[in-house]
Amino acid sequence: MASLIDIIGTGLTWLGLALLPFILWPLLVLILPRLLNRIAGRLIKWQDALSDIMIAVAASLAFIIILIQLLSVLLRYVFGLSFSWLTDSIIFSFASIFMLGAAGTLKSDGHVRVDIFRQRFSPKMASLIELLGALLFLVPICLLVIYASAGLVARSWSILEPFNESDGLPVRYLFKTLVPVFAILMINQGLSQATKAALVLRGYRSAPDAGDDQDATL
C-alpha cells in the first residue's frame, strides 16, 4: 500500500515537473513568431479543443444533476426512500462541473476580472498583461496545486477511498483526483492564452474583444 502511495504521489509530482518546460513555449513564440506561428496556431486549436470538450462534459453533468435531484425528491417524498449515493452523485457532479469547466471558462474570458484598468489598456498592453499573468501566476499556482495534492490523491487511490456513508458512492478517490485534473486543464488553457497573447504582441494574431474567441492569423 505504501509503495502504491509513493508511485502515485511521485507520478503526479513528476508530471508537474514535466510541465515546467512548456512554460517556455509562449516565450519562444514571442521571440521567434515568424518561425513558430503556424505550429503555435495548430497547438492553440488542440489546446482549445480540449477545453471545449471539458465544457461539453460539464454541461452534460449539469443535466445529470437535474435528473438525479428529481429522482432523489421522487424517491424521498413519494416512496419514503433515501440513498446516500444519490446525494454523493450530486456533490460529485457539481464539483466536476466547476473543476472540468474552469479551463473552458478561461478560454472564453468568462472568469471574474478586475477590469477597471484593463479596459483602458491598448490591445497589446492587455495581451502583455495576459501573457505575464499566465506565466507568473496561473501556471505556477496550478503546478503548486498538483504538487500539494499529490500525496492526498495518492493515499485516496491506495485505499480506493469511498464516501463517508456506508451506502455512499465508492469513488471518493475519483472526487479527489479532480484537483490535479483541474490544475492540468488550467495549465493547458493558460499556456494557450499566453501563446495567443504572444502572437498578438508580435502582430501575428488580431486582438480579440472581451469575450471573443478568435482563431490565430496564420
In the chain, where the domains are located? 2-201
Which pLDDT band, with edges at 50, 70 and 90, does 24 fall under?
Answer: confident
Instruction: Give the span between the Cα atoms of 82 and 91, in whole angstroms.
Output: 15
pLDDT for position 112: 66
Average the pLDDT over 99-110 and give the result.
Answer: 89
Whole-structure pTM value: 0.84
* C-alpha cell, 29: 513564440
Which pLDDT band, with edges at 50, 70 and 90, does 195 fall under?
Answer: very high
Residue 215 has pLDDT above 60, yes or no: no
Residues 6+ apart with CB under 8 A from 72: 82, 83, 86, 87, 90
Q: State the Cα torsion 63-66-68-69 to the nearest 10°.
A: 170
Instruction: Give the span between the Cα atoms of 173 and 163, in whole angstroms.
Output: 9
Closest C-alpha among 208, 210, 181 to residue 197: 208
Instruction: Give the span between the Cα atoms of 139 and 142, in whole angstroms.
Output: 5
pLDDT for position 211: 46
